[in-house]
Amino acid sequence: MSTPVLLALLFAVGLLTFLYRYAMIGLLARHSLPGWLHALCRYIAPASFAALVAGELFVQGGEVVFALAAPKPLAAGIAALVAWRTRGVLPTIAAGMAALYLFKFLL
Amino acid sequence: MLLGVVPFGMLYGIGALAAGMPVWLAQFASAVVFAGAAQLVIVQMLAAGAGVVPVGLTAGLLNLRHLLYSASIAEYLRHLPRRWRLLLAYLLTDEAYAVAILRYQATPQQEGEPDLRHWYYFGCGFTLWLTWQLSTAAGLLFGATIPPEWDIDFAVPLTFIALLTLLMRDRPSQAAAVAASAGVLVFAALPFRLGLVVAIVFGLLAGAWMARRGRRSAVSGSGR
């Protein structure tokens, strides 16, 4: 992606994000959100993060490479275990990176 | 709270360099977008070669939650002049919202006294803003000195894994996450990396479906 296109994209995302933030505070202060939108917002973050992780692990250049015994999926599995036990971001990153180096060395 | 923001910002800076973003543009994004998760997602997708439309759609969807924060905090800001509301809206992040809403709920307004709670909100918001800008700059400075074979950008999906375990608290969220990851594999062949957006929408539908199923079984369960 060229720099001017990226600049325009970031500007558009920034403007949209500001509109979200200002919408209810400034523009529609006397309205409330419809219930379905309220419900939908709760699933956006888990769906997006899960999709990104799955894409990083199993998709390479538009092709599905479903290999569980590769360094990155194995390291991600260890990281998920640590995340589930500790509920912390920093221990998860530390364990995941350490596991990645270990599996790259072993495999 | 700030301790959590610093590694996030540095990671974003490092990831932006790894994705080939010019330094000034990466810092510009921190000032204009000012949403950590969305910025990390943008960087991750750029590194994977995604086009303008999928990146824009995904970031636009992910940031939709700010509409919820805006709706929730609006009642406390209604009396403020427009310039205050513009400024506080710009500073409305996940963290600023969490701190400010707690403060607003914990300290009710006293009759006849001036309401100064928006200064508290501004103080938190501005501190978070400054921390985010500085940690982005730090990541951009150090990022260049880290060799690519260290795979430091793998820390971005690891961060998402950590956040996922916090977010997957109920059945609908779990269904959304599982369906979205399966959707990525199913829709991988779609052009321009649009498969990711389709997979996220697929996840949202799965979440809504699971929530509805849960409500229905709760109703029939209470009828017994």
Distance from CA of B115 to the nearest CA of A (A): 17
Strands (E), chain B: none
| Closest chain B CA to residue A5 | B52
Count of beta carbons in the 10 Å neighbourhood of residue B182: 17
Confidence of residue B106 (pLDDT cuts 50, 70, 90): confident
Highest mean pLDDT among A75-84, B12-21, B65-74, B97-106: A75-84
- What sign does the CA torsion over B198, A80, B46, B59 have? positive
B188 and B142 inside one domain: no
**pLDDT of B44-64, one tens digit each?**
889 888 889 989 998 998 898
Whether B163 is in a domain gets the answer no
Is B45 contained in some domain? Answer: yes
pLDDT bracket for residue B171 (50, 70, 90): very high
Q: Please, how many CA atoms are within 13 Å of residue B69, restricted to the half-sphere of its CB?
A: 25
Counted across chains A and B, CB pairs separated by less than 8 A come out at 266
Tokens representing B102 are 């707690």
CB atoms within 10 A of CB A56: 22
On chain A, the residues whose CB falls within 8 A of the CB of B70 are: 20-25
- Based on the fold, state whether residues B118 and B180 are members of the same structural domain: no
Statement to judge: residues B146 and B212 lie in one domain: no
What's the N-to-C CA distance of chain B in angstroms? 46
Looking at the 3D structure of chain B, how many domains does it have?
A: 2
Determine the residue type at B34. Answer: F
**Domain range for residue B93?**
1-151
Is the CB of residue B180 less than 8 Å from the CB of residue B202?
Answer: yes
Tell me which of B94, B126, B151 is where a domain ends: B151
Quick one: B52 and B100 in the same domain? Answer: yes
**Looking at the DSSP assignment, which residues form a beta bridge with residue B104?**
none
A89, A90, A104, best to mutate vs chain B, most B CBs in 10 Å: A89
Residues 6+ apart with CB under 8 A from A3: B22, B25
Q: Where are the domains of chain A?
A: 1-32
Q: Which amino acid is at B60?
A: G
The answer to whether position B66 is within a domain reads: yes
B165 vs A contacts (CB less than 8 Å): 80, 83-84, 87
Are both B196 and B116 inside the same structural domain? no
* Same-domain check for residues B111 and B210: no
B111-128: average pLDDT: 88
- Which of B102, B121, B151 represents a domain boundary (last residue)? B151
Which chain B residues are closer than 8 Å to A65 by Cβ? none
Q: What ipTM was estimated for this complex?
A: 0.85
* B92 and B4 in a common domain: yes
